[in-house]
Amino acid sequence: MVLANPSGTAAVPIASSGSWSAGDGAALYGLDRWGDPYFSVSPRGHVMVQPRGERGGALDLVELVELVQELQGPLASEER
């Protein structure tokens, strides 16, 4: 199987086994071209942001969203 690349570059081949890895996602979206050194994909498949670039420090965006949802509590979802 081949997925079209939204960046307009060559299509990304996907293993016929149907497996998908964090590296496949990073390649598909070209993080190494536009995101380096500020965005990456962790081994867990989460998008990571490094606001200071190569100077260090990283934030897992999935964990951040989960924390915000937890802090909002059930009332926040009822208000929508």
Task: Return per-residue pLDDT of the chain as tens, 80 residues.
Answer: 444 445 555 555 555 556 888 888 888 889 889 999 999 998 888 999 999 999 999 999 999 999 999 998 876 556 65
Whether 50 and 42 have beta carbons less than 8 Å apart is answered as no
How close are the terminal C-alpha atoms of the chain, in Å? 39
pTM more than 0.75: no
Element (H, E) at 33: helix 31-34
pLDDT of residue 3: 45
Whether 12 and 20 have beta carbons less than 8 Å apart is answered as no
* CA atoms of 13 and 8, how far apart (whole Å): 14
Domain positions in the chain are 2-78
* CA atoms of 60 and 68, how far apart (whole Å): 13
